[in-house]
Structure 1
Amino acid sequence: MTTRRRHRSRTGQSGSPVSGTVRVDPRTKDLTKRLQAGDIAVIDHDDLDQVSAHALVACAPAAVVNAAMSTTGSYPNRGPEIVLSAGIPLLDMVGPAVMEIPEGAVGTVSGDELRVDGQVVARGVRLTEALVASQLQDARANLSSQIEAFSVNTMEYVRAERQLLLDGIFVPTLRTDLQGRYALVVVRGYHYKEDLHTLRPFIREARPVLIGVDGGADALLEQGLRPHLIVGDMDSVSDAALTSGAELVVHAYRDGRAPGLERVEALGITDAVVLPAPGTSEDVAMLLADDKGAELIVAVGTHATLVEFLDKGRQGMASTFLTRLRVGSKLVDAKGVSLLYRSRISTLSLVWLVLAGLLALGVALAATPGGRALFGVLAVRWDDVWAWVEGVFR
């Protein structure tokens, strides 16, 4: 409560009113699937993370209203900064009652208030860039304690999940062949769009097996690429991706429960593979590629730093730590591949090759009677065309 009062006292009442259709969802990633430009996004998201913030910004809402605290101070999350930098007003800490606003109502954000039908339904903190910068500064001061707690949790989970390193996971039979091939594991994480774009030459020439982790499958489809394999609990992947023809591996709990299987079967897909395993779905995808004989595993959008894990609400990284130990030198980050890998044949080289081929063909034709006759006909035609052009301009 002390933190909440301190934030309120430092917030002004400035800001032009903005209006739009209210869209409400406690899960930000679900809301962005139906959020339209000019809408007012109502979320309930403690510590708004970068991925969610970028997804909100991509929808271009008129304003974002958060029932929770966009920055709690536990770690320096950059989500509010990203939203404000896009010029989108962010009304913070308005309370859980705002989640009861009916979907589709017309709302107005004015100062620190949200009005629906002219009535004030919520009041909170109108965030500013200066306030967000101050909150980030305070959060950085708490980072050392977060690192200590994160390390302790990680080591505890490492002891509990050490079999992941020793024995790996049970690998089911797949129809997708990875033996001796490159695998591209795509997670809808940080800078995944930019990384996929820069990897286009690598994908075109190396032809890796494309593995989408949940929403990563949609990221591949957005780039005009069809995933060969989709791994995950199937909660954040579209129906279009699930029915794209990719082989599906449903990540299940250790006891075999697979909540995502029901959704897959409802789409008429009966050959999905259920894989009970500890850890995250991106870890499972890497272990699967490794055990199936992939020669190289390229990771796009995966999580590796402390802030990235805290952004995902995780208090430890045991499975990721163990996975990277097991996969070893096979695993490389997409940014490293894009920096080191260059297309074997540049566009300029192709142009020169075509010109050289045409020149050689011309020389060969000129050495034959038929070729000389052809060039004579072409010369006469060219003279006719040139005379016609001169006549037009005269």
Structure 2
Amino acid sequence: MRRPWSLNVKIEKMRLPTLRLPGRRNDREVPADAVVGIARLDRRTKRLASRINPGEIAIINHMDIDRVAGDSLVAAEVAAVINAKPSISGRYPNLGPEVLVKAGIAVVDDVGEEIFDAVREGALIRIEDGVVYADDEEVARGRRYDAESVAQAMLDAREGLSVQLEAFAANTMEYLKRERELLLDGVGIPDVDTDFAGRHCLIVVRGYDYKEDLEVLRPYIREFKPVLVGVDGGADALVEAGYTPDMIVGDMDSASDDVLKCGAEVVVHAYADGRAPGLPRVERLGVAAKTFPAAATSEDIAMLMADEKGATMIVAVGTHATLVEFLDKGRAGMASTFLTRLRVGGKLVDAKGVSRLYKQNVPVSAMLLLVLSAIAAMAAAIGASTVGLTFLEIVADWWDGLIFQIQRLFS
């Protein structure tokens, strides 16, 4: 819900063809579908989504906006998204722009990276069609998407799937050659203090439908008490759901400082050459951490670690399971996810989408029947015992006395 005192303004479509903004230098008429708001800039969409306020305009530099990025911007309630790069390049049908447009968020596409120099952080800007204005001066121009143009772009992008599939297969073989010792023998997996042996492990990634699926899994978590592993922002997702992660794995670019200091064991994902960009941040927080050098993704090394350390079952929430999802991540490294799932497939249970498969709804009639059954059982127990019979006699005497007093009152 947007704060009523916010200075950000989103001008919705109205019946009137045009409107005027007060205080304009030339008081020029502005189209009714124009969008006005405070600009927030960041070349990393994930980082921007965590700090932008409702009603503000996000300026990003994101080739092929994926669904996770789109969902994060929708959750932030942005008024519009201005992308310096093509939001749909045509390589494959990425899902992010469709998510944004369906949410009613204006998307201006491929305006060029010069916008990061032309617009300052916190400036009030205006979008008219595909043109971006700051102080009444045009600073960028691009294509404004609507539902029809997004659908057409997605249709055209499907023609590029065959090329991407060939590239994906080639990347998979290359990764297998580089990381065969890790995949087959677990070479390189660090020694950790968290005990996985003989236990279930729940790995949470801040991916598709993770909130809903995590909510549905509450009875499972309560009963089996699995090892809770948060992958980057997945650790925050666990804390938001009321849990404390046992381990945090990832690049440490989206887990919050408070969560990193919650007491969980921290494993920093490093590049294959040993460089770990996220390690200095963890060390600045005074948190001890181990590193895991691998060319795989963070969710992959979490699964490999749980498998190698003896987890009997791995339950994955928010992870990537389909070809479109692999491609939607927009990087060749997703080939590792395909091979990792083959490696741990015997233990892996993918909980993604379980909230849509099953929702526990208790009908009112069933609740009423349960209450009546409980009352009947209590009555039967009371009637079958000596103490119960004595209690019933006392109640009967009290009732007779009450009726007698009432009759005397009206006689």
- TM-score bracket, normalised by the shorter chain, equals 0.7 to 0.9
Matched residue type, 1:37? P
1:38 aligned residue: 55
Equivalent of residue 234 in structure 2, options 190, 198, 216: 216
1:159, distance to aligned residue in structure 2 (A) = 1.9
1:133 aligns with 2:151: yes
Matched residue type, 1:264? V
1:98, distance to aligned residue in structure 2 (A) = 1.0
1:167 aligns with 2:182: no
- Report the TM-score when normalising by structure 1: 0.84
Quote the Cα distance in structure 1 between the aligned partners of 2:260 and 2:400.
61
1:15–1:110 Cα contact (<8 Å) kept: no
2:209–2:353 Cα contact (<8 Å) kept: no
2:160 aligned residue: 142
1:183 aligns with 2:201: yes
Cα separation, partners in 2 of 1:362 and 1:16, compared to 1, 3 Å: same
Unaligned runs of 5+ in 2: 1-29, 407-411
1:63 aligns with 2:80: yes
1:207 aligned residue: 225
Deviations 1:110-151 (A, max 9, x none): 111111122211111111211111111111112112112211
1:246 aligns with 2:264: yes
Cα separation, partners in 2 of 1:77 and 1:357, compared to 1, 3 Å: same
Quote the Cα distance in structure 1 between the aligned partners of 2:376 and 2:346.
42
RMSD across aligned C-alpha pairs, in angstroms? Answer: 3.0
Most deviating of 54-63 and 366-375? 366-375
Quote the Cα distance in structure 2 between the aligned partners of 1:374 and 1:64.
75
> Equivalent residue of 1:321, what SS?
helix
1:258, distance to aligned residue in structure 2 (A) = 1.9
1:290 aligns with 2:310: no
1:326, distance to aligned residue in structure 2 (A) = 2.4
Equivalence map 1:14-33=2 (5 Å): 16-33=33-50
1:51 aligns with 2:68: yes
> Equivalent residue of 2:163, what SS?
helix
1:110 aligns with 2:128: yes
Matched residue type, 1:163? E
Quote the Cα distance in structure 2 between the aligned partners of 1:362 and 1:72.
74
1:378, distance to aligned residue in structure 2 (A) = 8.3
Higher relative contact order (CA 8 A, sep 6+): 1
1:211, distance to aligned residue in structure 2 (A) = 0.6
Quote the Cα distance in structure 2 between the aligned partners of 1:382 and 1:308.
73
2:112 aligned residue: 95
Quote the Cα distance in structure 2 between the aligned partners of 1:218 and 1:326.
27
Deviations 1:301-347 (A, max 9, x none): 1112222222222225442233223223101110487699999x999
Quote the Cα distance in structure 1 between the aligned partners of 2:278 and 2:400.
72
1:375, distance to aligned residue in structure 2 (A) = 4.3
1:290, distance to aligned residue in structure 2 (A) = 1.0
1:370, distance to aligned residue in structure 2 (A) = 6.6
Quote the Cα distance in structure 1 between the aligned partners of 2:399 and 2:139.
81
1:367 aligns with 2:387: yes
1:150–1:316 Cα contact (<8 Å) kept: no
Quote the Cα distance in structure 2 between the aligned partners of 1:382 and 1:366.
24
Equivalence map 1:313-332=2 (5 Å): 313-315=330-332, 317-332=334-349
Unaligned runs of 5+ in 1: 1-12, 388-394
1:361, distance to aligned residue in structure 2 (A) = 5.5
Cα separation, partners in 2 of 1:30 and 1:378, compared to 1, 3 Å: farther
1:215, distance to aligned residue in structure 2 (A) = 0.8
> Equivalent residue of 1:284, what SS?
helix
1:66–1:93 Cα contact (<8 Å) kept: yes
1:105, distance to aligned residue in structure 2 (A) = 0.7
Quote the Cα distance in structure 2 between the aligned partners of 1:382 and 1:253.
84
Identity among equivalent positions (%) equals 54
Matched residue type, 2:166? E
Matched residue type, 1:39? E
Cα separation, partners in 2 of 1:169 and 1:342, compared to 1, 3 Å: farther
Most deviating of 350-359 and 260-269? 350-359
Quote the Cα distance in structure 2 between the aligned partners of 1:15 and 1:181.
58
2:209–2:352 Cα contact (<8 Å) kept: no
> Equivalent residue of 1:178, what SS?
coil
> Equivalent residue of 2:114, what SS?
helix
> Equivalent residue of 2:139, what SS?
strand
Deviations 1:251-304 (A, max 9, x none): 22233322212111111213x222223311111111111111111001111112
